[in-house]
Amino acid sequence: MKQWEDNIRKVTPYVAGEQPKEKDIIKLNTNENPYPPSPSVQKKYSEIALDRLRMYPDPEASELVTSLERYHGLDKGQVFVGVGSDDVLSMAFLTFFNSDKPILFPDVTYSFYPVWANMYRIPFETPFVDDQFEITVSDYHRENGGVIIANPNAPTSLALPLDRIHDLLRHNQDVIVIIDEAYIDFGGESALPLIDRYENLLVVRTYSKSRSMAGMRIGYAMGHPGLIQAMVSVKESVNSYTMSMLSISLGTASLADEEYFQKRIIQIKETREKTKNELENLGFFVVESSANFVFAKHKTIPAEQLFHELRERKIYVRYFKKQRIENFLRISIGTGDEMKKLIETLERIIT
């Protein structure tokens, strides 16, 4: 043991879904979009003069920030962009959760929240979701150092109705409340209309799911300009230039084609409903999903067994070996063809 080892920060990192290197995998384990990014992104890509790479990008990413403000009908200074919503959320934890009181989030939720809390030494408590995985908002009616809720929640896929979010905000006006809306384009009601009323509300989105751009790493937060400015200052104290020239340009281009965007979302929702029915026919209980994945439990066969049997047949889904959800699989919604193969494979495994 070297003496310097004492001062290395010890952490338990987040474990992301596997990114297999083989090609013929049906990959339903990280909630990626099965469709390519908008043609407007491809068009922009082919127009970019790569010589510009020699220069630093705009540290404020103004082109992307302004486009997002316009897209969402917001004022100047209401958008913060980062390297995926994980970067945005990490920065928000660092910026806003500096109280001695514990922050609150559900026990079953995005498993990065406790990792960031541990990383930044933020105390936290995790009120239980109920047996139907519903968040009980009254659990959050108590003194705390901040609140973060994923809506729709992951891995449960359940949406929290807007009046419940509203209630949460009414009871939490002294702390920052973050609503992580990574999946909101696939269902549920956004809290975005509430940011004018609640200066302490931060709404976070990502390009990784509905915009088919996980590979590009773009996420953003929306809120009162005071909150956004605080995040910008923290960002400028970590890395002046987080967004590459290409993220800024291609992220902006993605917003230009609303029709393509909406069409793909409808397609994914249709595939989701079809998949849900077929899974139910195979004896699964499937949580009512507002996301681009379903959370499902078979009536007799353990999830871990199904996970391994699917994996052997080159279909990757997500399995969490964790209390309360260890009998569930989280299955991303792929193309119609991919889901057909999933259902056929499950049929063979089950019967």
335 interacts with a second copy by CB under 8 A: no
The interface with a second copy within residues 126-185 (CB under 8 A) comprises 145-146, 173-176
Residue closer to a second copy, measured from CB, 50 or 323: 50
Give, as ranges, the residues between 289 and 318 that touch a second copy (CB under 8 A): none
Residue with the two structure tokens 């514990």: 102
Per CB under 8 A, the list member of 65, 81, 83, 178 interacting with a second copy is 83
Give the interface segment with a second copy, choosing from 44-52, 152-160, 271-279, 314-322 (CB under 8 A). Answer: 44-52
One-letter amino acid for residue 233 of the chain: S
Neighbours of 297 (CB within 10 A): 19
Question: Measured between alpha carbons, how far is 314 from 327 in angstroms, rounded to an integer?
Answer: 21
Is residue 262 a contact residue for a second copy (CB under 8 A)? no
Residue 178 pairs in a beta bridge with 148, 202
Q: Does 230 bind a second copy (CB under 8 A)?
A: yes
Q: Is 52 in the site for a second copy (CB under 8 A)?
A: yes
Return all residues near 245 (Cβ < 8 A) that are at least 6 apart. 48, 52, 53, 55, 57
E-strand stretches of the chain: 26-27, 79-82, 103-104, 124-125, 147-150, 177-180, 201-206, 219-223, 284-286, 293-298, 315-316, 318-319, 329-332
CA-to-CA distance for 183 and 158, rounded, in angstroms?
A: 10
Among 243, 268, 279, 303, which residue interacts with a second copy (rule: CB under 8 A)? Answer: 243
Contacts (CB under 8 A) with a second copy, residues 85-124: 86-87, 90, 94-99, 115-116, 118-119
Q: Which is nearer to a second copy, 16 or 266 (CB)?
A: 16
Q: Quick one: 59 or 283, whose CB is closer to a second copy?
A: 59
**Options 28, 105, 188, 217; binder of a second copy; rule CB under 8 A:** 217
Q: How far apart are CA 233 and CA 98, in angstroms?
A: 15
- Cα 192 from Cα 203, distance rounded (Å): 6
Return the number of the residue (67 or 95) whose C-beta is nearest a second copy.
Answer: 95
Q: Which stretch binds a second copy (CB under 8 A): 185-193, 239-247, 325-333, 335-343?
A: 239-247
Stretch that binds a second copy, among 45-53, 272-280, 325-333, 336-344 (CB under 8 A): 45-53
Is 22 an interacting residue with respect to a second copy (CB under 8 A)? Answer: no
CB of 271 to a second copy, least distance (A): 15
Q: What are phi and psi of 290, to 5 degrees?
A: -115, 20
Pick from 54, 131, 259, 321 the residue near a second copy by CB under 8 A.
Answer: 54
Rule CB under 8 A: choose which of 16, 76, 143, 299 binds a second copy: 16
Q: How far is the CB of 89 from a second copy (least distance, A)?
A: 9
Report helix, strand or coil for 247: helix
**Contact call for residues 29 and 315 (beta carbons, < 8 A):** no
First-to-last alpha carbon distance for the chain, in angstroms, is: 55
Count of residues in contact with a second copy, rule CB under 8 A: 86
